[in-house]
Structure 1
Amino acid sequence: MGALDLEVLSTLGLAVLAGLAGAALFRRLRMPQVVGYIVIGLVIGRSGLRLVDGAAQETLEPFNMFALGIIGFLVGGELHADIFRKYGKQFVAILLGEGLLAFALVGVPCGLLVYLITGDMMVSVSSGVVFGAIASATDPASTMDVLWEYRAAGALTTAIIAIVALDDALAMTLYGLGTGVARILTRHGGSIWPQVVHTVVELGGAVVLGVAAGWGLSRGIRAGVQKDRTLALTLAVLMLAVGISLTLKLDVVLAAMATGVTLIHLVPHRSRELFHAVRAFSAPVYILFFVLVGARLGLAAMPLWIWALAAVYVIARSIGKMAGAWLGGTLSGAEPVVRNGLGSAIFAQGGVAVGLSIMAGHHLSGIPLGNGMNVGDMIIFTVTATTLIVQLVGPPVTRWAVQRADETGRNVTEEDVMDAMTVADVMNTDMEPLPSHVPLRRAYDLFAETDASACPVIGRNGNLEGLMTFHGLKEALCEPGCLDWLLIGDVAGAADTTVESGRNLGEALHEMDQMQRDIVPVVLSRGDEMPAGLLERGRARRRVREELMRRRGGTATR
């Protein structure tokens, strides 16, 4: 194994461990975990301790593209056709409002500031156009990570997911047109049409590739691929789609998104569990992705005026996103919670913007600004600085927006609820235990006067001896007069299985399902023989469903 292999492996291990530590720290500070990942990346990367060097980051670049592919795939899985049939006009209006207004409000002041620095009108106009186009992009990765971390669901969350999915296509379109204009103005190109054609091919080709990948994946699922191999098949298809996108220079996120959208509509029921498995698999992928994002940000070489340009960019972009989302939502009749909160929730900027800045830097690198810097360098440095700012501020703002809309903690399943509850939360404590040494009539009277289906049985010392069920009582009644001469202990079933009151409810119900038990006695702790209640499967399931509805209704405790 070569030195570079060891370096890459150590980088992966260091990034994951450091990212986990950063996430834990920032959760204690009541901030989204993604901020912790990025800050840790800054500490160990180019702007800090330099524990992750440029060679390792360059080697891991394909991994970053794969991470973007997973993010796009999961976002696509959230985009159902019925949502767009119901809210399509609102989403288009909001998308155009926030994207175009951010484009205009960033392009004009940034162009003016570049003119004050350079004194060249053509350079300032072209720079403003490119900055405006890049400003329209929203980072789906950190935005979705916040929504998933806080289990957000509701009208605002639905709008956020749709807009971050569509923002990519709008940003790519504006960028293609913007760089075309910039190259014409700076005499590096004679026509805008090649850029238009390139953008159409890049977006359209990504959609076609994603639809084909989703169709192929759905065929594999329908063909009966074993359940434990479906995840492997999905990851293989995603890797193939990402690799083809990079080779053909198509949009990676859009291709992966189209794969997810296609799959969720072709096999809606069978793919839900698959999306859940991919999300569970993606945890270390997310950590590595965001830590490496922070590690790549080099801040030491930036001149002071770049930070001034970045400040203008961030302020103008924020105003454009919020005002544009409000305007689009108002004109399309969106709910108040959507038009008032969406602009704040799409504040983040990430990989797409950085990627576009690098492309712009390559196209405009031949235009000098002085002091060894060119227009391409200026764009890359500025977007890097703005990405640092909005990635640190954006996730907390997204969390604030969905919390203000009262949409956190709603995207939960029955399994999530059971994992958060214990046996003590649902056990039946209403029944007093039946002594084993008294006549059976005592049990008969109990079941006749209540709707109980079982009751714990105790000995003279108060310890659990068995379980008296209504079914067992019915079988004993075949003997005339048995109620007075049979004892409860003669009829009760043995208490061969118990569960502790502090046990995780999901685990306890799973064991009951495996043992095919509907009712199990509950004790306070292992080794304790005093009954604390009964765990009844039907009752527990009803309580779980009630809690699920309560949480989805927005009244759950946060």
Structure 2
Amino acid sequence: MLVLAAEATSWSYQLILLLSITIIIGLFAGRFFERKRIPNLTAYILIGLVFGGVIVWAGHEEIVDAFEVIINVGIGFIAFSIGLELNFKRIKKRTKEVIIVTLFQAMFAFLLTFFALYILVLPLHIALLIGSLAIATEPGPILLITKKMHASGPLTDTLVPLHGVEDSITIMLFGITLSYAVSVETGSAFGPMEILTGPVLEIIFSLIIGLVIGYILVRIIRYLKYEDVEKDIVILISAIAAILASIAIASTGFDIFGIHIHLSPILLPMATGIFFSNLSTDLAKHETERIMDLFSAPILILFFSLLGAEIVILLAVSLQVIDLILILIVSLIYVVMRFFGKLSGSWIGGKVAHSDASVTRYLGFCLLPQAQAAIGLAFFARSSLSGTVYGTMILIVIMISTIINGLFGPLGVRHALMQCHGVDGNFCNIVHYAKADPERHHHH
């Protein structure tokens, strides 16, 4: 027993060593990629794929469980940062437009993916379930690249609030389609009550708890004097505590009247950020953003690297049980149809909502990255459909799509921001970016 414990401890320290090496390699690889005009996230994911290969080769696949926590912490930090960006005063006049565009691109991504899968390869209930996952996009790459390029303007103003709305649509549709899929696979009854209460309660409680934590954070930071020497430390610690509390509560959920309520690990930290951002002064918000940006850099490198590693390990673990040809066909259809759904939906939604030309033309390109939300839901689907052929298949299809969109998605975001800057100087402000690098400006 003791030997086993000692082995486990030494392996956990080896993991820490591996993680520290990953962060450093990630930092420099990211900088190298940036110079070659490829977003640094692509570097992090590639390093993750290699890192996953090393772990599989060393035979330590069980380590995936340890990743789960780090990945959830990463997503919490990203979601909180997105919440901070969401200023209601700034988007008040865009609310209707954001909702219309989000609904259109979500519905198109869902319907195109679902129909193609259903007609070509999969049974109805599984095609519906995978279709619902096509809606989710990964806010991380979008947030990082818009920040790095100092982009502002109609496109980024539409992008940021879109995630909150989109996350809610995904949760609702996924909840309904999963209940239906489980009832088909197990032959149990399919009742409307349980289906709706789950997702609706998840969204409501995520918002309420986010409001409470956000409000506490505002009160703490209110008491700070501007001349306080330790101001930065207090802000940093309070913000980290708020984010970690949001992540922990979201990941454990709670029971009310005998119903277990899951909370969204994206929606809850995002709600905390949103309420904090809108209830505190501009100065407090600005200071918090500045400090959190520095702190979250290593977390983001780890987040994207581990995501890549997790994909490799899960593929390796489930290779025996899966039908590779079917998975490749489904993945291909999923990636292609989701791409067309996002582009056409954003375009039509933009036309209906009379959006800016930059939004109509380029928003779809910004919605390609997909990771934690979809993977988290796919994990959930796998455990709900554990006795069936489809559980692991859904997870692996989403993972493959994540790699493809993770490598090419950030290029789409970058392309969109560069292009909408080129459409007309007022559309997207990348002035800072252009000034910082005259060479780069020269090429466009």
Deviation at 1:43, TM superposition (A): 1.2
Distance 2:288 2:32 in 1: 31
Partner of 2:424: none
2:121 aligns to what SS in structure 1? helix
Deviation at 1:408, TM superposition (A): 6.0
Partner of 1:162: 161
Deviation at 1:323, TM superposition (A): 0.7
- Equivalent positions of 1:40-59 (< 5 A) are 40-46=47-53, 50=57, 53-59=60-66
1:75 aligns to what SS in structure 2? helix
Partner of 1:212: 212
Change beyond 3 A, Cα 1:53–1:409: farther
Partner of 1:110: 117
Give the alignment partner of residue 231 of structure 1, picking from 233, 236, 255: 236
CA displacement, residues 132-189 of structure 1 (integer Å, 9 cap, x when unaligned):
1100000011221222222221111111112233221111111011112222333244
Partner of 1:523: none
Letter in 2 for 1:291: S
Q: Is the CA contact 2:343–2:363 (under 8 Å) kept in the aligned structure 1?
A: yes
Give the alignment partner of residue 257 of structure 1, picking from 263, 270, 287: 270
Give the alignment partner of residue 390 of structure 2, picking from 357, 372, 375: 375
**1:174 pairs with 2:188:** no
Q: Is the CA contact 1:113–1:309 (under 8 Å) kept in the aligned structure 2?
A: no
Deviation at 1:9, TM superposition (A): 1.3
Normalized per residue, which structure has more strand? 1
Q: Is the CA contact 1:409–1:556 (under 8 Å) kept in the aligned structure 2?
A: no
Letter in 2 for 1:10: L
Deviation at 1:64, TM superposition (A): 1.6
Partner of 1:466: none
Partner of 2:190: 190
**1:278 pairs with 2:299:** no
Distance 2:120 2:70 in 1: 37
User: Gapped runs of 5+ residues in structure 2?
Assistant: 1-5, 254-261, 422-427
TM-score by length of 2: 0.86
2:190 aligns to what SS in structure 1? coil
Partner of 1:433: none
**1:287 pairs with 2:304:** no
Normalized per residue, which structure has more helix? 2
- Equivalent positions of 1:290-309 (< 5 A) are 290-298=304-312, 299=315, 301=319, 303-309=324-330
CA displacement, residues 304-357 of structure 1 (integer Å, 9 cap, x when unaligned):
221111010111101111111111111111111111110111111101111111
1:297 aligns to what SS in structure 2? helix
Distance 1:71 1:377 in 2: 27
Q: Is the CA contact 1:44–1:51 (under 8 Å) kept in the aligned structure 2?
A: no
Deviation at 1:52, TM superposition (A): 9.4
Deviation at 1:74, TM superposition (A): 0.8
Letter in 1 for 2:273: G
Distance 1:34 1:253 in 2: 19
Distance 1:202 1:274 in 2: 28
Partner of 1:268: 281
Q: Is the CA contact 2:133–2:174 (under 8 Å) kept in the aligned structure 1?
A: yes
Partner of 2:370: 349
CA displacement, residues 79-123 of structure 1 (integer Å, 9 cap, x when unaligned):
1112332111110000100001111100111123334xxxxxxxx
User: Which shifted more, 158-167 or 87-96?
Assistant: 158-167
Letter in 1 for 2:263: L
Q: Is the CA contact 2:180–2:190 (under 8 Å) kept in the aligned structure 1?
A: no
Distance 1:326 1:352 in 2: 24
Distance 1:66 1:411 in 2: 31
Distance 2:19 2:71 in 1: 12
Distance 2:144 2:61 in 1: 26
Q: Give the number of the structure with larger relative contact order, counting CA–CA contacts within 8 Å between residues 6 or more apart.
A: 2
Distance 1:47 1:142 in 2: 25
Deviation at 1:48, TM superposition (A): 8.0
Deviation at 1:240, TM superposition (A): 1.2
Distance 2:266 2:32 in 1: 30
Higher-Rg structure is 1
Distance 2:80 2:162 in 1: 15
Distance 1:193 1:408 in 2: 48
Letter in 1 for 2:387: G
1:152 aligns to what SS in structure 2? coil
Letter in 2 for 1:243: A
CA displacement, residues 434-466 of structure 1 (integer Å, 9 cap, x when unaligned):
xxxxxxxxxxxxxxxxxxxxxxxxxxxxxxxxx
Letter in 1 for 2:379: I
Q: Is the CA contact 1:70–1:282 (under 8 Å) kept in the aligned structure 2?
A: yes
Distance 2:305 2:58 in 1: 12
TM-score by length of 1: 0.69
Distance 1:360 1:129 in 2: 12
Percent identity between matched residues is 27
Distance 1:30 1:50 in 2: 32
Deviation at 1:63, TM superposition (A): 2.0
- Equivalent positions of 1:78-89 (< 5 A) are 78-89=85-96
Distance 2:310 2:429 in 1: 31
1:105 aligns to what SS in structure 2? helix
- Equivalent positions of 1:358-397 (< 5 A) are 358-367=379-388, 374-397=389-412
Letter in 2 for 1:278: M
Give the alignment partner of residue 70 of structure 1, picking from 69, 77, 93: 77
User: Gapped runs of 5+ residues in structure 1?
Assistant: 116-123, 368-373, 422-546, 548-554
Give the alignment partner of residue 312 of structure 1, picking from 302, 325, 333: 333
Partner of 1:11: 18
Distance 1:51 1:151 in 2: 42
Deviation at 1:29, TM superposition (A): 2.7
Letter in 1 for 2:161: A
